[in-house]
């Protein structure tokens, strides 16, 4: 059951609904859910078969890894080898929010989550339903946008049904989401911070948040 929440600017998703969605994810299914930018598609990021199905649904190249959403910073322990020092100020400043940070991935991660260099993109969403779903599902879910590759990402639950008729196992209707630009994606290498994809958080703001900026 969902109820309007004018103060939050959208719909509050009931705990019972989140529990059902988490059970679908735990069983290898695909769940659509709202975020602060677009709707996303969630599967268990450690389930190889679920990831393969997700990529087929999106018609996405296996060479384009999907990002992961977490419920809280401590859940990074399951996903990454280390947290670069440059990221700590960014996490404090921009998480929760539409900033994806690219970390050195843990050895146990499926190849569909990691780039060729073994890195993984992770974000702590500011949308309460996204964070609560990640928590209910064990701390981490995939957060790729709800759309076939090449098409605009969905901003309503009804649009997901149009794009994926009968293909999504469970849809959490959180009402319309803002759309606009997706999360900003930032990486880090020997030369320092680098912009991978421009998005909702201006890169200038990210650079300004660094201690030596």
Work out whether strand 119-124 and strand 68-70 pair parallel, antiparallel, or are unpaired.
Answer: parallel
Residue % of the chain over a pLDDT of 90: 87
More confident of the two residues 15 and 33: 33
9 pLDDT more than 60: no
pLDDT, residue 83, reads 95
pTM for the model? 0.91
Q: Where does the pLDDT of residue 5 fall: very low under 50, low under 70, confident under 90, or very high at 90 and above?
A: very low
Read off the pLDDT of residues 126-178 as tens digits, 9 standing for 90 and up: 999 999 999 999 999 999 999 999 999 999 999 999 999 989 999 999 999 99
Interhelix angle for 15-26 vs 128-136, to 10°?
50
The reply to whether 141 falls in a domain is yes
pLDDT, residue 10, reads 56
* Overall average pLDDT of the 57-67 stretch: 94
pLDDT, residue 7, reads 33
23 pLDDT more than 50: yes
pLDDT, residue 134, reads 98
CB 67 within 8 A of CB 79: no
185 DSSP 8-state letter: E
For residue 102, which of 37, 42, 185, 41 has the smallest C-alpha distance? 185
4 pLDDT more than 50: no
Q: Where does the pLDDT of residue 189 fall: very low under 50, low under 70, confident under 90, or very high at 90 and above?
A: confident
The reply to whether 213 falls in a domain is no
- Other beta carbons less than 10 A from residue 198's beta carbon: 12
Work out whether strand 10-13 and strand 2-5 pair parallel, antiparallel, or are unpaired.
Answer: antiparallel
More confident of the two residues 191 and 36: 36
The reply to whether 24 falls in a domain is yes
* Overall average pLDDT of the 12-37 stretch: 94
The reply to whether 71 falls in a domain is yes
The reply to whether 6 falls in a domain is yes
Domain containing 117: what range?
Answer: 2-208
pLDDT, residue 3, reads 40
* Overall average pLDDT of the 186-206 stretch: 94
pLDDT, residue 12, reads 74
Instruction: Specify the CATH number for the domain of residue 201.
Output: 3.90.870.10
pLDDT, residue 209, reads 93
Q: How many domains does the chain have?
A: 1
């Amino acid at each position: 059951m969902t109820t309007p929440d004018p103060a939050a600017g959208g719909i509050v998703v009931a705990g019972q609904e989140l529990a059902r969605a988490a059970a679908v994810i735990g069983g290898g299914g695909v769940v659509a859910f709202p975020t602060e930018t677009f709707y996303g598609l969630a599967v268990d990021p450690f389930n190889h078969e679920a990831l393969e199905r997700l990529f087929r649904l999106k018609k996405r190249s296996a060479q384009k890894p999907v990002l992961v959403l977490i419920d809280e910073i401590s859940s990074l322990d399951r996903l990454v080898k280390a947290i670069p020092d440059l990221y700590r100020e960014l996490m404090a400043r921009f998480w929760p929010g539409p900033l994806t940070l690219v970390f050195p991935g843990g050895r146990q991660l499926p190849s569909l989550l990691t780039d060729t260099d073994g890195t993984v993109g992770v974000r702590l969403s500011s949308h309460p339903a996204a964070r609560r779903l990640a928590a209910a599902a064990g701390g981490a879910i995939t957060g790729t946008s709800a759309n076939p590759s090449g098409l605009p990402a969905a901003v309503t639950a009804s649009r997901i049904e149009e794009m994926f008729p009968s293909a999504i196992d469970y849809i959490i209707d959180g009402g319309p989401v803002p759309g606009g630009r997706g999360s900003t994606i930032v990486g880090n290498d020997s030369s320092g911070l680098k912009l991978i994809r421009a998005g909702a958080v201006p890169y200038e703001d990210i650079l300004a948040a660094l201690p030596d900026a």
